[in-house]
Amino acid sequence: MMSHEQRQPDQQVQVAQADQLEQPKDKWGDSISEQRQQELLGMLDAWNAPDADHGKRRGPFDGRELTGADVYCLAEKYDEDLVLLLEGALLYRAQLQGADLSEAQLQGAYLLDAQLEGADLSRAWLQGAYLFGAKLEGADFSGATLDGKSTLANAFILAPEDTRPLRARLFRRPRYGPALGDLHWGDFDMAQLTQLHGWDDLRRLADERGITWRSDAAGHRDALRAYLQVAQRLREQGYSYVADRAQVLQRKLLFRLLLADWRRPWRLPGDLVRWLFSWFLALLAGYGYHPGRSVFWYLATIASFTYAFFQATHGLPIGPFHFAQSSDIPQLPWNEALILSVSAFHGRGFFQPVKSLGDPVAGLAALEAVLGLIIEISFIATFTQRFFGAK
């Protein structure tokens, strides 16, 4: 009779075999049985037969359930000059991560909850495709075609949970949504685009992937065009999720043009001014999409000039600077210096009368009034953009 030690290895082998049976390999890149291959190719041959009667069927796999492994097999068997004919195919929950579906015919395909992370769907035909709940993080839809019957509602442009390695999360490396540049929208309903999950957490589209500080102006221009296209579509529904990122890319593009202008010095001043002004808008209010920055500069300005007024009225240097003329205004305590700063910021002038406009307090009050006007204009514009959906 076998001992316990002799039976244990056999039991482990049986458990491992059972696990393999319970976890079928059906994702893109996996192999399928010879019988399944012949079945798929038979459907394709029947569709391409000269005397085939297609009826109302849209493609060789219309109404047929396919897995990611099935699609991979078809892609491997197809000639290089042909595209995947997947019209009307049932790809429910298909594991197509990283799949090459460029130019694929997916009209009417049923891609409910499909896993399309990192898939290449560039120039694919998606008229009438149903992608409800699909995972689209990092997928490439550039140049794809949609229409009014295409469904993207409740699909995920970013996964609900960040499952990347801890190192990537700690260093806050960007997560890329789908690439959406040069999409052919047709009569696509923009309400579906706004119903995609993940806009609030999205920071970059995959159109920007691979672009670094070494990239040329053409790469930045293509990514910028994608952001502007998507931002325009979203603004039609009152949303502005990616418009701020478009401004960031535009600033980077201006920098690339600035570097190129060393060979065209007559254009250098204009591009330099535009680039610096873009940085100014970014720091001041995040191009109108970050009201908190305007609030920060408001508080920082009030606090800085409170310190300056206190120092000036006590005849003390303001940081490394020292006024040649001392102020005629009596020494102000901190609370009165604060009141003077707030008054100068909002009142466009100085609170207490001075004997001379050359008084340091008068100069500081005039400077704070100018800065206050700029910050207030920025805050009003940002507030309107953020909370009233101004376009």
What is the pLDDT, as a whole number, of residue 89? 93
pTM of the model: 0.67
Convert the pLDDT of each residue in 313-330 to its tens digit.
887 778 766 666 677 777
Quickly count: other Cβ atoms within 10 Å of residue 384's Cβ.
12
Is residue 298 predicted with pLDDT exceeding 60? yes
Q: Is 160's pLDDT higher than 90?
A: no
145 and 166 in contact (C-beta within 8 Å)? Answer: no
Residue 341 pLDDT > 70, yes or no? Answer: yes
Structure confidence at residue 238 as a pLDDT band (50, 70, 90): low
Q: Where are the domains of the chain?
A: 59-209, 214-282, 291-387
Number of H helices, E strands in the chain: 11, 2
- Fold type of domain 59-209: Pectate Lyase C-like (2.160.20)
Token couple for 358: 């050359």
299 burial level (CB within 10 Å; 0-12, 13-18, 19+): exposed
CA angle 112, 118, 123 (to 5 degrees): 80
The confidence score (pLDDT) of residue 211 equals 77
Model pLDDT, residue 380: 78
When pLDDT is averaged across residues 208-237 and rounded to a whole number, the result is 78
CA 362 to CA 340: how far, in whole Å? 11
Other beta carbons less than 10 A from residue 126's beta carbon: 28
In angstroms, the CA 51 to CA 49 distance is 6
By the 10 Å C-beta count (0-12 exposed, 13-18 middle, 19+ buried), 290 is classed as middle
Q: For the chain, what is the mean pLDDT?
A: 79
